[in-house]
């Protein structure tokens, strides 16, 4: 924004004059801005109200029209410690008889305690100075020869019992030593050079050294490559370190752990286990932990208890189809793992025990029915069996199940609908009948500066509360719902409505809210005859036909009211949201155009007053000149 210095010559407060001139013009922009603000607030109000209408439509109205709401059944058992039951809408009313012959159970394979004397522990070690050649796989005699470029020679023959350090004695004859670090072997020159005061100050590396062996495998086992000799050149203090060399030591006995290798238990690599039809092949390094993980991949529960020294396997689901079947292609392998149920040991703790998976078996109204679980669905009943109905002597005591219409559940469903409907109708009515906010319009920024935050909030709340007053959409929606709920259904040539069930509207001041005659929670009708409950008890099918018939009409009418209309309304919306968006966009565009024109107008005013200032400045200058010419003061 440009800096304007006004009134220097004329003495006018140009900013105040221009502002006053613009006030009338800006009032037009403020008028459009207030219309836009009110429309945005109105859309917000409708957005909130539409959520409630849609919720009623998709939940309460949907349930009200659904047949399952009025076909709810209730089932009871004469012995719930053995059988519990729930009735679905398709359950047959009346009495049912059930005997439980067998419960469904999972399969369990509990391994015997593994005898630890059969196990071994393998430890991997880095090569050191004390490592024996036999540990590295060098079992035959091997001769090491050493020579220097200045004529020193030496040799030594070692065997499997010799250690790496045994090279040092002979290497010393040629001013050499062996260094082993992190399993890597290197040769070091040890000849010293000049000394000062008896202290060596440098190494004399100016000679070649050649180390050779009579068997190539020796260098290979020591990590020195595939040749039979190596040379440390003059000027080089130390040979390159060889590859890292490791070796395993095996100790017998000790407890078996999850990290014990199967090979240390006498189970060869390539051994195949078959678990429930899935083959599992072992490797040379497979551990008990890894085998357990393979068992889990098949789909069972599997663990190894190091403290108990045994496996625990179980099926994740009950039933004979989920029974655990474990075999191996190698005899004696399962016994080594304590998993061979055919082996009987003198010590019973070493015996594997298996419990077969079983199906539940019941006798329902004389028919035998099996299930892989103890939750059984039959003839619309959801039955959970908890215990058999036979005693120790084999005597069976069948359990009686009774299935009836759930009068309370059906009645409460209708009450819930009525309560939800009344809540929505009251809110619609309150919005429609809200007090007018005549004389109240959204505030401009200048107007807000004259008020406190509390005053602004109260002012805007009064406007927002009145935005849907006498709204035609509310009137239409309310009328649609009332018409649908007052509709009738023809059954066997007779016409029935909600009134036939004792569901009717109250005083006109309630704007169509519903009441259920005899409802103990509604003081206005609690003393009336409870027609709804009586009809549910005596003729539930007729109640179902009346309520679903009326409910479908209400649901369909609401669906039509929320259908999409191109350019006016989105789907699942009862108000013209698209039309509002178009109007808001139009207002925004118009305000931008008007603001641009106002800016141009304001710039013109300032230019005119700037010209005035220029003219006044010239006039003042001329007056000063004339005054000077006549020798008078201006």
Q: Could you say which of 508, 536, 567 is where a domain stops?
A: 567
Q: In terms of domains, do 131 and 230 share one?
A: yes
pLDDT band at 26 (very low <50, low <70, confident <90, very high): confident
CA-to-CA distance for 459 and 451, rounded, in angstroms?
A: 10
Q: Is residue 629 part of a domain?
A: no
CB neighbourhood size of 33 (10 A): 20
Q: In terms of domains, do 427 and 443 share one?
A: yes
Q: In terms of domains, do 435 and 503 share one?
A: yes
Q: Is residue 96 part of a domain?
A: yes
- Whether residue 269 has pLDDT greater than 70: yes
Given the DSSP bridges, would you call strands 272-275 and 246-252 parallel, antiparallel or unpaired?
Answer: unpaired
Q: In terms of domains, do 146 and 260 share one?
A: no
Mark out the alpha helices in 486-539 (DSSP H runs): 531-538
Q: Is residue 17 part of a domain?
A: no
CA-to-CA distance for 287 and 293, rounded, in angstroms?
A: 10
Q: Could you say which of 222, 249, 276 is where a domain stops?
A: 249
**443-481 pLDDT, tens digit each:** 998 899 999 999 999 999 999 999 999 999 999 999 999
The number of folded domains in the chain is 4
- Whether residue 63 has pLDDT greater than 60: yes
Q: Could you say which of 249, 281, 308 is where a domain stops?
A: 249
Q: In terms of domains, do 139 and 176 share one?
A: yes
CA-to-CA distance for 388 and 360, rounded, in angstroms?
A: 10
Q: Is residue 177 part of a domain?
A: yes
The structure's pTM equals 0.64
Q: In terms of domains, do 412 and 557 share one?
A: yes
pLDDT band at 321 (very low <50, low <70, confident <90, very high): very high
Q: In terms of domains, do 298 and 341 share one?
A: yes
**185-238 pLDDT, tens digit each:** 999 988 876 444 444 445 678 889 999 999 888 889 999 888 888 898 988 888
For position 172, what pLDDT does the model report?
A: 83
Helix or strand holding residue 600 (H, E): helix 577-630
Q: Is residue 95 part of a domain?
A: yes
Structure-token pair, residue 224? 């020195």
| Residues spanned by the domain of 547 | 37-70+408-567
Q: In terms of domains, do 273 and 204 share one?
A: no
**91-115 pLDDT, tens digit each:** 999 999 999 999 999 999 999 999 7
Please indicate whether residue 25 or residue 545 has the higher confidence score (pLDDT).
Answer: 545
CB 543 within 8 A of CB 514: no
Q: Is residue 616 part of a domain?
A: no
Q: In terms of domains, do 65 and 81 share one?
A: no
Q: Is residue 292 part of a domain?
A: yes
CA-to-CA distance for 369 and 89, rounded, in angstroms?
A: 21
Q: In terms of domains, do 277 and 201 share one?
A: no
Q: In terms of domains, do 196 and 332 share one?
A: no
CA distances from 498 to 536, 545, 550 (A): 13, 11, 8
Q: In terms of domains, do 219 and 77 share one?
A: no
Q: Is residue 445 part of a domain?
A: yes
For position 1, what pLDDT does the model report?
A: 47
């Amino acid at each position: 924004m440009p800096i304007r210095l006004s009134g220097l010559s004329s003495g006018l407060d140009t900013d105040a004059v221009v502002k006053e001139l613009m006030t009338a013009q800006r009032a037009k922009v403020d008028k459009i801005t207030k219309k836009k603000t009110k429309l945005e607030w109105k859309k917000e109000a409708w957005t909130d109200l539409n959520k409630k209408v849609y919720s009623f439509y998709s939940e309460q109205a949907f349930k009200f029209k659904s047949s399952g709401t009025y076909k709810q059944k209730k089932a009871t058992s004469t012995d719930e410690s053995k059988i519990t039951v729930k009735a679905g809408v398709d359950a047959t009313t009346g009495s049912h008889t059930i005997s439980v012959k067998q419960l469904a159970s999972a399969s369990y394979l509990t391994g015997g305690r593994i005898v630890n004397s059969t196990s071994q522990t393998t430890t991997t070690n880095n090569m050191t100075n004390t490592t024996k050649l036999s540990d590295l796989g060098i079992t035959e005699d091997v001769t090491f020869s050493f020579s220097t470029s200045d004529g020193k020679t030496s040799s030594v023959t070692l065997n499997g019992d010799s250690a790496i350090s045994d090279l040092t004695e002979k290497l010393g004859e040629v001013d050499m030593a062996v260094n082993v670090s992190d399993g890597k072997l290197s040769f070091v020159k040890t000849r010293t050079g000049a000394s000062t005061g008896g202290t060596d100050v440098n190494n004399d590396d100016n000679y070649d050294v050649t180390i050779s062996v009579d068997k190539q495998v020796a260098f290979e086992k020591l990590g020195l490559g595939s040749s039979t000799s190596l040379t440390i050149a003059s000027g080089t203090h130390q040979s390159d370190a060889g590859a890292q060399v490791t070796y395993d030591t095996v100790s017998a006995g000790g407890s078996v752990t999850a990290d014990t290798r199967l090979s240390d238990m006498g189970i060869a690599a390539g051994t195949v286990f078959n678990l429930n039809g899935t083959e599992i092949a072992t490797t040379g390094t497979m551990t008990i932990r890894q085998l357990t993980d393979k068992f889990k991949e098949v789909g069972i529960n599997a663990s190894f208890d190091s403290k108990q020294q045994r496996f625990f396997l179980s099926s994740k689901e009950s039933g004979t189809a989920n029974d655990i079947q474990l075999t191996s292609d190698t005899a004696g392998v399962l016994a080594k793992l304590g998993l061979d149920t055919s082996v009987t040991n003198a010590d019973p703790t070493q015996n594997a025990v298996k419990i077969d998976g079983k199906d539940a078996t019941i006798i329902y109204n004389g028919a035998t029915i099996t299930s892989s679980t103890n939750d059984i669905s039959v003839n619309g009943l959801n039955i959970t069996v908890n215990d058999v109905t036979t005693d120790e002597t084999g005597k069976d005591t069948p359990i009686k199940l009774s299935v009836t219409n759930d009068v309370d559940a059906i009645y409460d469903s209708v009450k819930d609908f009525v309560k939800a409907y009344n809540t929505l109708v009251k809110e619609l009515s309150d919005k429609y009948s809200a007090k007018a906010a005549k004389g109240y319009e959204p505030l401009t920024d200048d107007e807000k500066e004259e008020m406190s935050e509390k005053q602004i909030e109260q002012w805007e709340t009064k406007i927002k509360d009145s935005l849907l007053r006498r709204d035609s959409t509310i009137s239409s929606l309310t009328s649609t719902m009332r018409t649908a709920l007052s509709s009738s259904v023809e059954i066997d040539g007779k016409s029935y409505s909600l009134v036939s069930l004792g569901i009717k509207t109250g005083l006109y001041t309630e704007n169509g809210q519903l009441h259920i005659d005899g409802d103990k929670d509604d003081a206005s009708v609690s003393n009336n005859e409870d027609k709804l409950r009586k009809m549910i008890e005596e003729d539930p099918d007729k109640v179902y036909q009346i309520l679903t018939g009326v409910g479908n009409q209400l649901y369909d009418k609401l669906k039509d009211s929320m259908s999409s209309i191109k350019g006016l309304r989105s789907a699942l919306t009862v108000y013209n949201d698209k039309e509002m968006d178009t109007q808001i966009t139009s207002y925004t565009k118009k305000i931008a155009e008007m603001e641009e024109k106002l800016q141009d107008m304001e710039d013109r005013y300032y230019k005119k007053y700037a010209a005035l200032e220029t003219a006044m400045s010239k006039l003042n200058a001329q007056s000063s000149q004339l005054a000077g010419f006549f020798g008078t003061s201006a």
